[in-house]
Amino acid sequence: MQQSDNNQPIGNHGKRIAVVGSLTQAMLNFRSDLICELVAAGHQVYAFATDYCEQSQAAVRELGAIPVPYKLNRFSYNPISDLWTSWQLYRLFKQLRIDISFCYFVKPVIFGTLAAWLAKVPFRVAKIEGLGRAFIEPPQGAGLRCRLIRRVQVGLYRFVLPKTHQVFLLNPDDYQDLIHHYQISIPRLTLLSGIGTCLHRYPYHPPQLDPIRFIFVGRLLQEKGIRYFLQAAAMIKAQYPGVEFVVVGQPDTAKGSISQQELDDCVASGLIVYPGLVSNVVDWLAQSSVFVLPSYYREGVPRSTQEAMAVGLPVITTDMPGCRETVEQGKNGFLIPPHNVDALIEQMRYFIDNPQQIDGMGRHSRQLAEQKFDVVKINKQIMTALNLNTIPVAEPTKVES
């Protein structure tokens, strides 16, 4: 889905591309394939993140990119702090003579694109991977503060997105909201099917059936549904003590994250297996039966679900924007209403009582992953939309410390 504009395509020579995100973990886990594609095509990539350490900088350099640290407060609503972020990025874009800014996540999209516009970066790209925390619907409904933040975010999108040359969205609900409901003008828009996952790194494995094992993978935020997962686990364990529950991830600094103490208590009681944040998530998925994400977050398309589907797991997730793109009801899993623990327990019991359904649904998940979430196909879409063909390497510009 593309809207035409009057912008000329990017010229066929080496580009200096700023890939602007927030955390290095997301940069390395979710952007590495795209960065490698850009580098292989002969472009110089500068990877902007906020929490670099020596090890993560080395990992980015191994991809062929140059790490660029900057400061951004992910959860602050202080306009002075956010404008300072834009000022930093403006100076870095000018210093590095950036040709293309590629910003993803809410704050980098808003304040990175603003900086790129002020710095007269020739081609500005925004990748909106879900509308974020301001658009979640808690069980008690969105409060006044949440509604106010949502209005501010929409206002900032309305100001910034018309200054882009290309916007990528990941699900049709976000398209409907931004374009039709909020009537935001976007010069050129492409709807992708997700971030994508590497099918070679996440090969198919027959699901684990003895014991039945449910797995949650993701940031341990309340809105990702971790507490609903734990509530359901407690109810299921009382009836089926042999069923296992695995939680992979770590507590977040955001408000509403589960605490380490809560996790420790769950482990001590035998409720869950908790390996923490792991580098071999594919191994944990391969040793599981069913993937569960009871999220009420405004997802783009959850990467964790795409990875689980690639490995061949059935999925239980919510009928929410982004999440619903990963399930064909009754074929590779089940969609449940958000905030509904009883529905979650019912679908978990279905797999416990009908383990013969797990393998077939898991195979269907793999087929959907191959059709919709192959990162090679998605990155090709991105490269084609930006007209970034194979060309000679641009000479890198040194980043001042």
* Contact between 393 and 42 (Cβ < 8 Å): yes
How far apart, in whole angstroms, are the C-alpha atoms of residue 163 and residue 159? 8
Average confidence score pLDDT of the chain: 92
pTM to 2 decimals? 0.90
Instruction: Read off the pLDDT of residues 161-184 as tens digits, 9 standing for 90 and up.
Output: 999 999 999 999 999 999 999 999
Inter-residue contact 354 to 296 (CB < 8 Å):
no
Please provide residue 365's backbone torsions phi and psi, each rounded to the nearest 5 degrees. Answer: -60, -45
Q: Which CATH superfamily is domain 16-196+375-386 in?
A: Glycogen Phosphorylase B; (3.40.50.2000)
- Containing H/E element for 16? strand 16-20
The fraction of the chain above a pLDDT of 90, given in percent, is 83
The shares of helix, strand and coil residues in the chain, as percent rounded to the nearest 5, are 45, 15, 40
pLDDT in 10s for each residue of the chain, 401 residues:
444 333 444 445 789 999 999 999 999 999 999 999 999 999 999 999 999 999 999 999 999 999 999 999 876 778 899 999 999 999 999 999 999 999 999 999 999 999 999 999 999 999 999 998 889 878 877 788 888 999 999 999 999 999 999 999 999 999 999 999 999 999 999 999 999 999 999 999 999 999 999 999 998 999 999 999 999 999 999 999 999 999 999 888 777 789 999 999 999 999 999 999 898 999 999 999 999 999 999 999 999 999 999 999 999 999 999 999 999 999 999 999 999 999 999 999 999 999 999 999 999 999 999 999 999 999 999 999 998 865 444 455 555 54
For the chain, how far is it from start to end, CA to CA, in angstroms? 41
Q: Which segments of the chain belong to CATH 3.40.50.2000?
A: 16-196+375-386, 213-372
At 397 the pLDDT is 54
Pair 171, 325: CB distance under 8 Å: yes
217-246 residue pLDDT tens: 998 999 999 999 999 999 999 999 999 999
8-state DSSP, 110: I
Q: What is the CATH number of domain 213-372?
A: 3.40.50.2000
Question: Which pLDDT belongs to residue 398?
Answer: 55
Quote the DSSP letter at residue 287.
Answer: T
Say how far apart CA 58 and CA 67 lie, in whole Å.
Answer: 8
State how beta strands 315-318 and 333-336 pair: parallel
